[in-house]
Amino acid sequence: MKALITSGGRGTRLRPITNTNNKHLIPIANKPMLFYALEAVAEAGIKEVGVIVGSDTKNEIISALGNGTLWDINITYIEQDEPRGLAHVVKISEPFIGKDNFIFYLGDNMIVGGVKRFIEEFEAYKPDCQLVLARVKDPQRFGVPEIKDGKIISIEEKPAKPKSHYAVTGLYIYDNIIFEAVNNIKPGARGELEISDAHQYLLNKGKVVRYSEITGWWKDTGEPEDLLEANRLVLDRAFELEHRQIEGYVDDSDIAGKVIIGKKTEIINSIIRGPVIIGENISIKDSYIGPYTSIHNNCEICNSEVEYSILMEECRVINVDIRIERSLLGRGASIIRCTGRPRSHRFLIGDQSRVEVV
């Protein structure tokens, strides 16, 4: 069994963060999203992993992942010139996959509980294709199966009128017949070779398409709100047991709940309410950090309040007297209260940024 993990695509719904960062490297609980996928396949015992990289961001991905020694796997990079669809990703990966079965894992999906059990099911039942479904409130955002008598009878990509409450998640396990499918379909409505059309091709040919339902949690991190929710869920999970790890300096600040504080970080006269992860070399002074917040290395927070947010590296939040909540701050972003006259808001924000003021 090999694995194929995506890190290409456009990430348009996460602009402006994705103008300068590949979406798959956005930190969730201070760890790049893509690392969770690599950990999951490594944990399932897979050694040969193909990572799909877009031509525009491949260097960033390669320098973050290296050759895979961190996970004791071998990574082969497969370059896709343009995001031409998920079935196109499979198509160009045929030389890497060869005759093996493989798990196809969308690198922007966060799945807790690993992938081992899905692989075990595939190996036990030997279908041509094993899909993993999740019950969702908004199926029109996903590939949606129609199910009859416990069997999938059709699959549509982002249908206006979904035929079930299920989403096909970004975790698929295939045998070699998938290559026949991806080589015989045509681009769909958004001009891409759709993976749902490849699945429909298999159904039309009478191939065995099995499914199992995800019981833990799953998140497609398409929108900013999804990232915050994934961050919340990982922080909850990471700290299942009562857990506190403080490597930096904390004065008599009030720390409660599950908290990780990294090296060279100083917490002075502040309140921290976990679950919270605070990285290295950070200064937090006269501030409140509330639950479900991840703060990455080299940030500075002074005289401010932050809760349920993700701060990437080198952010500064200084003297902001309104609590910052449900926010995503990209690398090097600053929010600073200006004193003096005239009293006004001053912004220096990039394309497609969003600021909500009260």
> Which residues of this chain interact with ligand DAU, rule CB under 6 A?
6, 8-9, 52, 80, 83-86, 88-89, 106-109, 142-143, 157, 167-170, 192, 195-196, 220, 222
Nearer to ligand DAU, 109 or 298 (CB): 109
State which residue, 73 or 193, has the beta carbon closest to ligand DAU: 193
Residue (84 or 264) nearer to ligand DAU, CB = 84
Closest CB to ligand DAU among 8 and 248? 8
Helix or strand holding residue 79 (H, E) = strand 74-80
Residues 6+ apart with CB under 8 A from 245: 259, 260, 261
**What 3-state DSSP class applies to 20?**
helix
Smallest gap from residue 220 Cβ to ligand DAU (A): 4
Residue 3 CA to its chain's centroid (Å): 17
Nearest-angstrom CA–CA distance, 319 and 322: 9
Rounded-to-integer distance, Cα 65 and Cα 73, Å: 11
Least Cβ distance, residue 169 to ligand DAU (angstroms): 5
**Residue for token pair 């877009």:** 54
Based on CB atoms, which residue is closest to ligand DAU, 195 or 277? 195
* Spatial contact of 43 and 116, defined as CB atoms under 8 Å apart: yes
Least distance from C-beta 293 to ligand DAU, angstroms?
25
**Least Å distance between CB 107 and ligand DAU?**
4
Least distance (Å) from ligand DAU to the CB of residue 166?
A: 10
Tokens of residue 281, six digits: 């070399």
**Least CB distance to ligand DAU at residue 161 (A):** 16
Query: Is 132 in contact with 244 (CB distance < 8 Å)?
Result: no
| 239, 256 Cβ separation under 8 angstroms | no
Of 50 and 274, which CB lies nearer to ligand DAU in the complex structure?
A: 50
Sign of the Cα torsion 296, 78, 158, 12 reads: positive
